[in-house]
Structures are given as structure tokens and as C-alpha cells.
């Protein structure tokens, strides 16, 4: 998103069961890219003046929403190094002998989510890219449904029962993910994730007891790991918890820390556990 000659998006495939095929071979990748090109030409007038590159693989949203946008950047780099630069190109990158190009292999540990994303990159003249980027923000979330031919091809190629197929900008994906985190009960973590993605040079804190204490430093998230005495002393106990339930509340606090750390890890955000004992302030410490 920092290269003015590129803009990033994704074909979002909502499915009722995991993909049987998480990547497609090269011939299917080329066909999928052709479908995407036809859809985008209908939705975004003028887009056919740009190169289109599609990674024929289904990613979890967290894999695309990582600091530095590594999947999209890798796809953009492949597109810019691909031969045939006489005019706008439609490029589909798929697997060869079962292997995708570097950085374009979905994490098998994140394959079971109901939303899979096929990333694409548009590349070309900076003025055209800026205009198309504005169109993407204006129209894709509301009217960016894929054509039936695209959805049918994706369903057959990835061997997954699709419920919806639509196009999203990265900002659309950020907004949808924030909403999903709210529905999942982890909305307090989103500002940390958002800072790591959009403002990596700035600090961000989650300091809302009884939630875990987190600090995005600009390069990693530090998590204050308190023993039960320090936890009690620092005032992270939930309101209304009596002495008899304090130990269970502390166990739940630790589970919440692990949950937050796992979510951050899925976004490729480094986590450092900062152990804090009784008499030590959990705020402002530095990991050893």
C-alpha cells in the first residue's frame, strides 16, 4: 500500500466447508485470473489499463492482514518481474508440481475458516492506479459481487461449496475483520492489530482491566505476564468476583492472554511475554 504504482485487493470466497484444494495449478490460475479481469472490468471502468496479477490460492484473512502486506507485496514483485511488458497483462500465479511461488503458500494451520481470500494486485501508471483505488473503495464493498461464471469456476477449482463470492479492497477487509473481532468478543485487541498494520511506527496500548495489558512498541507486542499476586495487586480482577472465585478468574485471564497472543501470531505480529512479579509495575517494562 506504500507503492503508488500498485493497489491491492482480494476475491473473497465465503464457503460452508473448508477448501479441498487450497491452491490451483498454473492452467487453472490463468483461467481464474481471466474471470477476475472480466469482473473487475465490469466493476471498475478503466482498470483494463493496468496489469492484473492473481495468486490462485485461498488465504485466511489474517494472512493478508500482516505488517508490510507480505502476500500482496510478493505477488506484486512476481508480476513486475514477469515477462511480456508490451501492454497491460493478466497474470495468474499457480502451483507447479504442487508448490506455489515463494510467499504465496497459504498456512495449513489457518485453512478451516469460512472466509477464504484470493489476493490480486493492480499495477501500472500511478495516476490510473490512484483513480482505480478510489473506485475500489467506493464500489466494491456495496456492489462488488463476482459474476456467476467466476463463482462457479472458483467453487469447482477449489472444491468448496461457496455461498458468496465478492471483491474487496484491503480497507474493506480491514473493516470486515474489525467487525468479526467484535462479534467474536475480541474487539479490544483490534486497535493493537490495526496499529501494527497501518501505523507501525507508533505505539499503542491495550490498558483496559480486566483485559490483559498489551503494548505495541512499533516492532512487537509486549504482553505483561503477571503471577496471581501481581495480578491482584495491579487491579486486573473483574468487578464483582469474590475471593472464592478469584483463582478461576485468574485462570480465565491467562486464557485470554493466550487467545490474544494466538490472534496476533496469526497476523504475523511478534509477541514478547514480559514477566511481572509482585511489587513491579506491569506498565512500561521492557522484555529481557
Residue-wise pLDDT for 246-261, tens only, equals 888 899 999 999 999 9
Mean pLDDT of 19-31: 95
Residue 283 has pLDDT above 90, yes or no: no
Give CA–CA dist 247/241, Å, rounded: 10
* pLDDT for res 118: 98
Give CA–CA dist 51/8, Å, rounded: 12
Band the pLDDT of 232: cuts 50, 70, 90: confident
Name the β-bridge partners of 9.
120, 169
| Residue where the block lists cell 499476586 | 229
DSSP state for residue 89 in the 8-state scheme = -
Band the pLDDT of 233: cuts 50, 70, 90: confident
Crossing angle, helix 126-143 and helix 170-183, to 10 degrees? 40
At 247, give phi and psi (nearest 5°): -65, -40
Q: How far is CA 253 from CA 155, 209, 231, 247, in A?
A: 41, 10, 9, 10
Percent of the chain's residues with pLDDT above 90: 76
Q: What is the per-residue pLDDT across 211-231, written as a single tens digit (0 to 9) for each? A: 999 999 999 999 999 888 888
* pLDDT for res 288: 47
CA angle centred on 140, ends 136 and 141, rounded to 5°: 125
* pLDDT for res 286: 45
Q: What is the per-residue pLDDT across 134-188, written as a single tens digit (0 to 9) for each? A: 999 999 999 999 999 999 999 999 999 999 999 999 999 999 999 999 999 999 9
Mean pLDDT of 94-123: 93
| Residue where the block lists cell 466493476 | 43
Band the pLDDT of 284: cuts 50, 70, 90: low
Q: What is the per-residue pLDDT across 44-64, written as a single tens digit (0 to 9) for each? A: 999 999 999 999 999 999 999
* pLDDT for res 126: 96
278 or 142: whose pLDDT is higher? 142
Taking the alpha carbons at both ends of the chain, their separation in whole angstroms is 34
Amino acid at each position: 500500500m506504500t507503492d503508488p504504482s500498485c493497489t491491492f485487493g482480494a476475491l473473497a470466497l465465503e464457503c460452508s466447508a473448508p477448501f479441498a484444494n487450497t491452491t490451483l495449478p498454473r492452467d487453472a490460475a490463468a483461467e481464474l485470473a481471466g474471470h477476475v479481469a472480466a469482473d473487475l472490468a465490469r466493476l471498475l471502468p478503466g482498470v483494463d489499463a493496468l496489469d492484473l496479477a492473481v495468486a490462485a490460492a485461498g488465504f485466511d484473512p489474517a494472512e493478508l492482514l500482516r505488517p508490510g502486506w507480505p502476500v500482496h507485496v510478493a505477488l506484486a514483485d512476481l508480476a513486475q518481474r514477469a515477462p511480456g511488458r508490451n501492454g497491460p497483462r493478466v497474470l495468474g500465479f499457480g502451483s507447479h508440481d504442487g508448490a506455489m511461488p515463494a510467499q504465496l503458500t497459504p498456512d495449513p494451520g489457518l485453512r478451516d475458516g469460512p472466509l477464504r481470500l484470493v489476493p490480486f494486485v493492480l499495477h501500472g501508471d500511478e495516476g490510473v492506479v490512484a483513480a482505480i483505488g478510489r473506485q475500489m473503495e467506493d464500489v466494491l464493498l456495496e456492489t462488488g459481487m463476482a459474476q456467476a461464471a467466476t463463482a462457479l469456476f472458483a467453487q469447482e477449482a477449489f472444491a468448496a461449496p461457496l455461498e458468496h463470492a465478492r471483491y474487496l479492497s484491503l480497507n474493506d477487509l480491514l473493516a470486515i475483520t474489525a467487525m468479526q473481532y467484535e462479534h467474536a468478543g475480541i474487539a479490544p485487541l483490534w486497535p493493537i492489530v490495526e496499529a501494527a498494520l497501518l501505523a507501525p511506527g507508533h505505539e499503542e496500548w491495550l490498558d483496559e482491566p480486566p483485559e490483559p495489558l498489551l503494548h505495541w512498541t512499533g516492532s512487537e507486542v509486549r504482553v505483561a505476564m503477571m503471577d496471581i499476586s501481581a495480578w491482584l495487586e495491579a487491579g486486573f480482577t473483574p468487578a464483582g468476583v469474590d475471593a472464592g472465585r478469584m483463582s478461576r478468574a485468574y485462570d480465565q485471564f491467562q486464557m485470554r492472554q493466550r487467545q490474544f497472543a494466538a490472534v496476533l501470531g496469526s497476523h504475523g505480529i511478534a509477541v514478547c511475554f514480559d514477566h511481572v512479579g509482585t511489587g513491579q509495575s506491569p506498565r512500561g517494562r521492557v522484555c529481557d
